[in-house]
Structure 1
Amino acid sequence: MSATLDRISRVRISSVTLPLATPISDAKVLTGRQKPMTEVAMLFAEITTENGLEGVGFGYSKRAGGPGQFAHAREIAPVLLGEDPSDIAKIWDKLVWAGASVGRSGLSVQAIAAFDVALWDLKAKRAGLPLAKLLGAHRDSVRCYNTSGGFLHAPIEEVVERAAESVERGIGGIKIKVGHPSHEVDLARVTAVREKIGDVPLMVDANQQWDRAAARRMCRALEPLDLVWIEEPLDAYDFEGHAQLSAAFDTPIATGEMLASAGEHAELIRARGADIVQPDAPRVGGITQFLKVMALADHAHLGLAPHFAMEVHIHLAAAYPREPWVEHFEWLDPLFDEHLEISGGRMHLSGRPGLGVTISEQARAWTVAHDEVRI
């Protein structure tokens, strides 16, 4: 009897443009490096097997790159046909080599991520298990914090109000953006939120906009506010600078969301550039690569707080040995028929198999391009 019991017979990819209700600004906008964000480009992959099983996965891009991800995914999608969907690591290697001339990080692996997530979703569905349980969960819920209410385009009164609302809804922590041209404005905003929410966990995110001197000054000024972490105080690739801050201050340093491969995370961890690593599965090439980052982070005794995409990251965070955090954004809610339960400061796994989500009709309506290959 053959060990291969099923094969991939059909692959559909879709580019979906998700509009945001309000243009979003962080420190990168205030420094003139980026424009306000008005939409998120989603890349969906739907993989079907000869036995009729289906897996759904997705990746995304903000501000730019969505059409490029879709184009690359369309070129390499035929590589999946005829493969055993359980051989996920083998398939990942085939996909990355199919596009190796454009590299093994960044956009090329982000296009692979949608396929990879769909394969893990399919594998867990075949087993009749939530993905976290297939991976081996350490917990059925994960601490969660909200970011979407703390952007710099919002006046502090709104940020404070939304922080309080999030806590009342059962969210366990609040993160707000910093990196304003005025350090005094940053400190006033963080202090106002701290005074409003009391001892609720509070994080800040500078989105890479400080230089080393400014970061040292701000880390020192923020120490009395008892923050869970200070995120991306420096350029994402300044591993040495992040390591210096981690060694100099009591407040943990968090970074990693902008790194675009497992290899880049390995360098960050080797440099001791973070107390808390923040990998993003769609950005590093999917769940297969994220699991490599998780293993390295655990071996280095680091905290874990995956970036964005909570629909995927709830499962991965639940499988991390050390108590992690997961980031709450409601932005992707319209794309799925199901939504995650939040209470008691935690995001809860559902009993649904796989990722536990299905693509909504609204997402179908927002589709701007699609393609399909089949045997």
Structure 2
Amino acid sequence: MQAVESNIVSYAKVGADARTAADTGDRIEWIKLSLTYLPLATPVSDAKVLTGRQKPLTEIAFIFAEIRTRDGHEGIGFGYSKRAGGPGMYAHAKELAPNLIGEDPNDISRLFTKLLWAGASMGRSGLTTQAIAPFDIALWDMKAKRAGLPLAKLLGAQRDSVQCYNTSGGYLHTPLDQVLKNVAISRESGIGGIKLKVGQPDLSIDIERVRAVRKLLGDGFPLMVDANQQWDRQNATRACRTFEEFDLTWIEEPLDAHDFEGHGQLAERFDTAIATGEMLTCFDEHAQLILAGTDFIQPDAPRVGGITPFLKIMALGEFKQRKLAPHFAMEIHLHLAAAYGIEPWLEHFEWLGPLFNEQMHLKDGRMYVSDRPGLGFTLSEQARRWTPETEEFGERP
């Protein structure tokens, strides 16, 4: 009995002297937000432009978040908007930023929830979640840097490289002869797949372009098409049936992005895989899509609110055996795709190159994870020159 009493006293002393993780955690001291505009050399058009829904794309707005802590750790992340929305996202991000000052940067999931509730009256998807993304991504970048690891390695990489396809050379505004030149250049540069935009008012024009590219590439080389939500269910069925002969890797966004049931039905009906998901802006929407049965899911970390919700999408997608092909932002998505259990695809866009000091490594159809800690990029001086607005919060360490 005496020994038991002695142990109780000993445990009590240890409890009184011990420091908890909350006592010793780091703290966010400074945040810098930047609104940056990336100009495109040539206005870009897809099916949404041909139908009058949108104007040609001439620039992309980026919101960068740079975060530093009391203990000297740093992270950088970004969100973006094509056409309208950039200034609104930047404005909401400025409202959110003060909520992070003084917080432990290690508590990423808790901080995501805190920021989500800060803007909850505006909803839990769309601009409100996209404004969270720069912070969330910066915190994951910081966590990986603190560990001295590329983010892919921190997450538990399944592979050191990801097969990579190019989109930027096959837009609808590009004449067919130039498309063929772009395809040849992409293949020679080490690209592992080619994606063409389709969705012309006249399907025969799409067929002509796809047939010409398939002939140039030869049988077996991965070829995808993207309709950018152009068709209704009847026309999508007709187009998918027509494209079966070209041995496509997938047909992307044949229907409205929120027609989860319709995409699932097309995936069930045709041999060619159906891909969609880039326009969805939260985990819940992706969950509906995954459960509806599409073949490829195409989440976009900046659009869904960052890496935290993206990891949840990955977990559900892998559980349901969906293939993964993240949309845009290869600088972020390379790391996430490298950690996916089923062999994924990465979308290659050279557009973002001028924003960063570092280059990505492409070889033999695959993009390789570098040995740089975190996401592995820093903002270039050119990016700073394209930045008309910045705002800082907290005290700069």
Deviations 1:45-88 (A, max 9, x none): 00000011110000100001000000000001000011110100
Shift of 1:349: 0.3
For 2:317 and 2:359, the matched residues in 1 are separated by 29
**1:109 equivalent in alignment to 2:136:** no
Shift of 1:240: 1.2
Runs of 4+ with deviation above 2 angstroms: none
| Match for residue 206 of structure 1 among 227, 230, 233 | 227
Tell me which residue corresponds to 1:359: 379
Tell me which residue corresponds to 2:194: 174
| Match for residue 154 of structure 2 among 122, 134, 157 | 134
| Match for residue 251 of structure 2 among 226, 230, 239 | 230
Normalization by structure 1: what TM-score?
A: 0.99
Shift of 1:241: 1.0
Structure 1: runs of 5+ lacking an equivalent? none
Whichever residue aligns with residue 282 of structure 2, its letter is S
Deviations 1:100-156 (A, max 9, x none): 110110000100000000000000000000000000000000000000001000001
| Match for residue 324 of structure 2 among 290, 304, 324 | 304
* Structure number, greater radius of gyration: 2
After superposition, residues 7-46 of structure 1 pair within 5 angstroms as: 7-46=27-66
For 2:227 and 2:114, the matched residues in 1 are separated by 37
Deviations 1:13-50 (A, max 9, x none): 00000000000000000000000000000000000000
Shift of 1:271: 1.5
| Match for residue 191 of structure 1 among 195, 211, 219 | 211
For 1:358 and 1:127, the matched residues in 2 are separated by 18
Deviations 1:252-298 (A, max 9, x none): 000000001011000111121x1000000000000000000000100
Percent identity between the two aligned chains: 66
Tell me which residue corresponds to 1:339: 359
For 1:110 and 1:178, the matched residues in 2 are separated by 27
For 1:368 and 1:101, the matched residues in 2 are separated by 29
For 2:323 and 2:288, the matched residues in 1 are separated by 16
Tell me which residue corresponds to 1:215: 236
Tell me which residue corresponds to 2:393: 373
Whichever residue aligns with residue 264 of structure 1, its letter is E
For 1:86 and 1:173, the matched residues in 2 are separated by 38
3-state secondary structure, aligned to 2:96: helix
Tell me which residue corresponds to 2:9: none
3-state secondary structure, aligned to 1:269: helix
Tell me which residue corresponds to 1:61: 81
Tell me which residue corresponds to 1:256: 277
After superposition, residues 70-81 of structure 1 pair within 5 angstroms as: 70-81=90-101
| Match for residue 243 of structure 1 among 264, 276, 300 | 264
Tell me which residue corresponds to 2:368: 348
**1:99 equivalent in alignment to 2:131:** no
Whichever residue aligns with residue 138 of structure 2, its letter is A
**1:82 equivalent in alignment to 2:116:** no
Whichever residue aligns with residue 250 of structure 1, its letter is D
For 2:36 and 2:139, the matched residues in 1 are separated by 20
3-state secondary structure, aligned to 1:174: strand
Normalization by structure 2: what TM-score?
A: 0.93
3-state secondary structure, aligned to 1:185: helix
3-state secondary structure, aligned to 1:104: coil
Structure 2: runs of 5+ lacking an equivalent? 1-18
Shift of 1:200: 1.4
Structural RMSD (CA): 0.7
Whichever residue aligns with residue 290 of structure 2, its letter is I
Whichever residue aligns with residue 77 of structure 1, its letter is A
Whichever residue aligns with residue 226 of structure 2, its letter is D
For 1:279 and 1:368, the matched residues in 2 are separated by 29
How many residues end up aligned between the 2 structures? 374
Shift of 1:238: 0.7
3-state secondary structure, aligned to 1:240: helix
Shift of 1:5: 2.9
